[in-house]
């Protein structure tokens, strides 16, 4: 069994209650941090831990915290990003549902480190039943004196609130999230200024993912140096992976960073291999936005080294032969899958979710969806493949927020690695009609 | 919510909901009550028939002391807000990748046939509306659909049949808040 820091107790009966959570060592980090450490020492500890943001970009958390501006007399905010809408990602839901106090405890310690006296958990509106779970946990934490005025007699005050969104993927982007929290449309802001300087209500703000904030708890408990020993290289600690698609055991797995991808897919401890004994065709390793890799390249790097579940190893080879760890949304496709059809599904998603502020993203995602649809319908032309390539190139890097890149990368990587499949479809339009692509829901067999 | 006398022509929250609106507004700093907009719109949608009519939006604007246009802008941006009436029981099936790989399309077609409507439509008796939505974070238990606040996962056609039957018998209202 791998090392578990976040989900060690997720199956303990009643762990959702403060009582049981405390009996299993819960709130020790709040006691330690607030009573024995200074905010600056906490930031240092997180820096030492090497923790990197678990929301997708992997930016070092301690460094992000140290950028927070601290003008006199201006409030600072910590906002937890629980918008979780990246297709293939469901780990934050699992964590909040199973062990809500871990997030609450992380929010208290992190807010203290940043000098925030009001903090928000921005959660996607569809996770409504989790809002209830979190609100109950927060109520318990107030009653136990971990929230509110003068926490544990230390003089530190903190109020924590849950704020629901209402269905918009773009609100996971941190500046769109802030706009949404201010009661507006979720249009990303032009940066700079960065949220660390002007965020929520134009005040210095840190936005961190649920899992990032939860990881601060074990870091405080064990110390940053001990945490940094877990994992591999600059990929320290553990990571929650949401595994789905054509595997025998879909679910959320906490892995020590550095586990070989092959072990993750095939061992009984994790995904348990491909459904129905089929062959692996491709993997989207970090949520829909990261480049798709064919089976050979996800198991081994271009140099033939085993590929590991770490930020560096998954990125090895750049976009030519590598991908990204992203949010850890690990979608597995077997040999019956159609890359082109799946790509259309992703592209439709980005087109639907584009906020419409930048024309390359708004128009480009629409065109890409249309062209892919045409190919799927058996009306594709050879020139469509080149057109798709040009379109994605004209989106990438030319937009206000990274949703544009997120829409471009799946297209670029699908063409890069599976061009032959596109060509087969345009050369023999009848062939795509026969590809049913998805499993029949009743027997979970390829139809 | 549970107030049968709610009138969407002249919307007024129940005392209970109004207290909740004021509690929600206090979560945000002085003068930033606009932040309460999304939570209050959820409440309004639940209480006033499952959708946001212009009158309901105007009412929310007056409660938060903001301009009606500020409410329309937001209500039209977010997919969870219905700007047209929907059936009593709103069924939302995930159509994104992992669900799609595991048969979401079968689920949608099956419900379409069973209810004799197309995706996006409402049954003539006003009971059901069928919508497809993007990934709801149930990819590991795909395929899935959401009805009200409930996630129904690892769907099969049989499970869907049982659920539809149950909703009909219970006269299920999908609203929540
Ligand atoms: C289109 C888009 C969607 C995003 N969605 C999420 C999300 O659902 N959850 C999340 O934590 N980060 C999301 N992010 C990343 C956030 O912008 C931000 O980097 C992150 O919340 C920072 O937290 P971290 O440093 O703890 O990872 C998204 C980014 C983009 C561009
Ligand atoms: S890249 Fe797309 S989602 Fe991002 S700001 Fe521009 S239009 Fe909006
Ligand atoms: S793809 Fe359907 S819930 Fe994620």
- The dihedral over CA atoms of A116, A311, A401, A109, expressed in degrees to the nearest 10, equals -10
Find out whether the beta carbon of A406 lies less than 6 Å from any atom of ligand 1.
Answer: yes
Q: Which residues numbered 119-158 in A keep a CB inside 8 Å of some CB on B?
A: 120, 124-129
Residue A445 in this model has a pLDDT that exceeds 60: no
SS3 B40: helix
Is A223 in contact with A112 (CB distance < 8 Å)?
Answer: no
Residue A360's pLDDT band (boundaries 50, 70, 90)?
Answer: very high
Is A120 in contact with B28 (CB distance < 8 Å)?
Answer: no
- Model confidence pLDDT, tens digit, residues A240-255: 999 999 999 999 999 9
Query: Which residue is closest to B75 within chain A, CA to CA?
Result: A185
Residue A314 in this model has a pLDDT that exceeds 60: yes
Max CA distance (Å), chain A: 74
Q: Which CATH superfamily is domain B89-170 in?
A: Glutaredoxin (3.40.30.10)
Query: What pLDDT shows up at residue A3?
Result: 85
Is A270 in contact with A253 (CB distance < 8 Å)?
Answer: yes
* Mean predicted lDDT score pLDDT of chain B: 94
Q: Is A442 on the interface with B (CB under 8 A)?
A: yes
How far is CA A129 from each of CA A310, A315, B82, B147, rounded to the nearest angstrom? 32, 36, 20, 12
Give me the residue label for tokens 């996770």.
A127
Spell out the domain ranges in chain B: 3-77, 89-170
Residue A1's pLDDT band (boundaries 50, 70, 90)?
Answer: low
Query: What pLDDT shows up at residue A257?
Result: 98
CA-nearest of A338, A321, A340, A342 to A384 is A340
Query: What pLDDT shows up at residue A291?
Result: 98
Residue A443 in this model has a pLDDT that exceeds 90: no
Pairing of strands A205-209, A77-82: parallel
CATH topology assigned to domain B3-77: Arc Repressor Mutant, subunit A (1.10.10)
* Mean predicted lDDT score pLDDT of chain A: 96
Interface contact flag, B176 A128, Cβ < 8 Å: yes
- Model confidence pLDDT, tens digit, residues A397-408: 999 999 999 999
Q: Stretch A117-123: mean pLDDT, rounded? A: 98
Q: To the nearest whole percent, how much of chain A has pLDDT over 90?
A: 94
Phi/psi class of residue B49: alpha, beta or left (left: φ > 0; alpha: ψ in -120 to 50)?
Answer: left
Number of other residues whose CB lies within 10 A of the CB of residue B60: 27
User: Where are the alpha helices (H) located in A244-358, listed in sequence order?
Assistant: 261-266, 295-299, 311-315, 318-321, 339-353
Ligand nearest to the CA of A88: 3
B100 contact residues in A (CB cutoff 8 A): 342, 345, 438
Q: Is B20 on the interface with A (CB under 8 A)?
A: no
| Alpha carbons A48 and A69: distance in angstroms, whole number | 21
Residue A439's pLDDT band (boundaries 50, 70, 90)?
Answer: low
Tens place of pLDDT per residue across chain B (177 aa): 444 446 778 899 999 999 999 999 999 999 999 999 999 999 999 999 999 999 999 999 999 999 999 999 999 999 999 999 999 999 999 999 999 999 999 999 999 999 999 999 999 999 999 999 999 999 999 999 999 999 999 999 999 999 999 999 999 998 776
How far is CA A160 from each of CA A62, A108, A214, rounded to the nearest angstrom? 22, 8, 15
Ligand nearest to the CA of A363: 2
Query: What pLDDT shows up at residue A430?
Result: 75
Q: Which residues numbered 366-425 in A keep a CB inside 8 Å of some CB on B?
A: none
SS3 A207: strand
- Model confidence pLDDT, tens digit, residues A157-215: 999 999 999 999 999 999 999 999 999 999 999 999 999 999 999 999 999 999 999 99
* Phi, psi for B33 (deg, rounded to 5): -65, -15
Residue A98 in this model has a pLDDT that exceeds 90: yes
Query: What pLDDT shows up at residue B2?
Result: 42
Q: Is A338 on the interface with B (CB under 8 A)?
A: no
- Model confidence pLDDT, tens digit, residues A12-56: 999 999 999 999 999 999 999 999 999 999 999 999 999 999 999
Interface contact flag, B155 A441, Cβ < 8 Å: yes
Q: What is the layout of strands, in order, in the sheet containing B145-147?
A: B128-133, B89-94, B145-147, B150-152
ipTM of the shown complex: 0.96
- Model confidence pLDDT, tens digit, residues B55-102: 999 999 999 999 999 999 999 999 999 999 999 999 999 999 999 999
Structure tokens at A4: 């578990």
| Alpha carbons A327 and A86: distance in angstroms, whole number | 8
CA-nearest of A115, A84, A54 to A239 is A54
Find the residues whose C-beta lies inside 6 A of ligand 3: A 87; B 94, 96-99, 135-139, 142, 144
Q: Stretch A105-119: mean pLDDT, rounded? A: 98
Q: Is A336 on the interface with B (CB under 8 A)?
A: no
| Alpha carbons B130 and B91: distance in angstroms, whole number | 5
Q: Is B102 on the interface with A (CB under 8 A)?
A: yes
Angle CA A249–A241–A216, to nearest 5: 140
């Amino acid at each position: 069994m791998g090392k578990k820091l976040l989900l060690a107790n997720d199956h303990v009966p009643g762990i959702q209650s403060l009582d049981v959570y405390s009996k299993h060592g819960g709130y020790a980090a709040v006691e330690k941090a607030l009573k024995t450490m200074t905010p600056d020492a906490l930031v240092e500890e997180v820096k030492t831990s090497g923790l990197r943001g678990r929301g997708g970009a992997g930016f070092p958390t301690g460094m992000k915290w140290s950028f927070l501006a601290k003008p006199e007399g201006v409030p600072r905010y910590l906002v937890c990003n629980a918008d979780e809408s990246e297709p293939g990602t469901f780990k934050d839901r699992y964590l909040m549902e199973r062990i809500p106090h871990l997030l609450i405890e992380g929010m208290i310690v992190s807010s203290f480190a940043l000098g925030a006296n009001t903090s928000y958990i921005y959660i996607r509106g569809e996770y409504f039943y989790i809002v209830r779970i979190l609100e109950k946990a927060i109520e318990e934490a107030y009653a136990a004196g971990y929230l509110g005025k003068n926490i544990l007699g230390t003089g530190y005050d903190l109020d924590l609130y849950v704020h629901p969104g209402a269905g918009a993927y773009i609100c996971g982007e941190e500046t769109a999230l802030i706009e949404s929290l201010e009661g507006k449309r979720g249009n990303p802001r032009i940066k700079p200024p960065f949220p660390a300087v002007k965020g929520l209500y134009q005040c210095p703000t840190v936005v961190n993912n649920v899992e990032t904030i939860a990881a601060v708890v074990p870091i405080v408990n064990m110390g940053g140096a001990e945490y940094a020993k877990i994992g591999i290289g600059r990929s320290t600690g553990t990571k929650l992976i949401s595994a789905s698609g054509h595997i025998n055991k879909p679910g959320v797995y906490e892995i020590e960073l550095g586990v070989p991808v092959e072990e993750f897919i095939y061992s009984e401890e994790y995904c348990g291999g491909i459904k129905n004994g089929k062959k692996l065709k491709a993997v989207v390793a970090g949520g829909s936005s990261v480049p798709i890799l064919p089976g050979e390249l996800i198991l081994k790097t271009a140099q033939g080294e085993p590929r590991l579940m770490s930020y560096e190893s998954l990125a090895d080879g750049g976009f030519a032969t590598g991908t990204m760890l992203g949010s850890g949304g690990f979608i597995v496709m077997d040999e019956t899958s159609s890359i082109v059809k799946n790509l259309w599904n992703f592209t439709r998603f980005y087109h639907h979710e584009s906020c419409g502020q930048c024309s390359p993203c708004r128009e480009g995602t629409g065109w890409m969806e249309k062209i892919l649809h045409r190919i799927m319908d058996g009306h594709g032309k050879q020139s469509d493949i080149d057109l798709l390539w040009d379109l994605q190139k004209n989106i990438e890097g030319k937009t206000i927020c990274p949703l544009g890149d997120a829409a471009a990368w799946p297209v670029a990587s699908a063409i890069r690695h599976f061009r032959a499949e596109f060509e087969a479809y345009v050369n023999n339009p009848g062939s795509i009609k026969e590809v049913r692509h998805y499993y029949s829901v009743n027997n979970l067999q390829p139809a | 919510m549970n107030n049968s006398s709610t009138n969407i022509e002249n919307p007024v929250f129940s005392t209970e909901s109004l207290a909740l609106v004021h509690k929600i507004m206090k979560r945000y700093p002085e003068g930033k009550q606009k932040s309460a907009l999304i939570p209050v719109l959820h409440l309004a949608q639940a209480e006033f028939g499952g959708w946001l009519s212009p009158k309901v939006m105007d009412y929310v604007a007056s409660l938060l002391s903001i301009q009606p246009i500020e409410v329309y802008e937001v209500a039209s941006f977010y997919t969870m807000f219905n700007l047209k009436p929907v059936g009593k029981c709103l069924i939302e099936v995930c159509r994104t990748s992992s669900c799609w790989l595991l048969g979401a399309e079968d689920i949608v077609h099956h419900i379409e046939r069973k209810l004799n409507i197309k995706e996006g439509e409402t049954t003539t008796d006003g009971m059901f509306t069928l919508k497809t939505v993007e990934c709801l974070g149930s990819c590991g238990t795909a395929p899935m659909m959401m009805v009200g606040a409930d996630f129904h996962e690892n769907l099969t056609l049989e499970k869907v049949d049982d659920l539809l039957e149950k909703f009909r018998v219970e006269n299920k209202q999908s609203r929540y808040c």
